Amino acid sequence: MRKINSTNYQNQKILEMSCGLSYAVELLSGRWKVNILWNLDRGVNRYGALNRSIPGISEKMLTQRLRDLKAEGLIIRKDFKTIPPHVEYSLSKAGKELIPVLELLCNWGTRVRSITKLDYNLIQ
């Protein structure tokens, strides 16, 4: 998290305004965002189902990322105003447009995993 008054922060915002790629990367930055979008595209649309479908995500983080994605306009939250609460999430138009890009990234990541330098031994 950068200080809003810092030169670094201001330079990042200038870059995001002038470069679509930088804007897209910033929009998707934050752990779990692409996983949530991916699962929503595959029909997982309730909080509990999303929580079960993404191994390792905490409830706090899922809640925060859903709020972020909604605020950024990538997902839609529909509250049915019932008791017990019934809320469903879906991709917005912008979120749906992102899915083909995520599919390309997924395929690329699968292809280059064996030749890139990410060390999964550090995760243990």
Please give the C-alpha separations between residue 23 and each of 2, 13, 15, 85, 107, in angstroms, as whole numbers: 16, 9, 8, 35, 22
Question: Which sign does the torsion angle of CA 61, 1, 116, 20 carry?
Answer: positive
pLDDT in tens, 60-74: 999 999 999 999 999
Query: Tell me, what DSSP letter sits at residue 122?
Result: G
Cβ atoms < 10 Å from Cβ of 42: 10
pLDDT tens string 49-63:
999 999 999 999 999
The number of residues making up the chain comes to 124
Its pTM stands at: 0.82
DSSP structure class, residue 39 = H
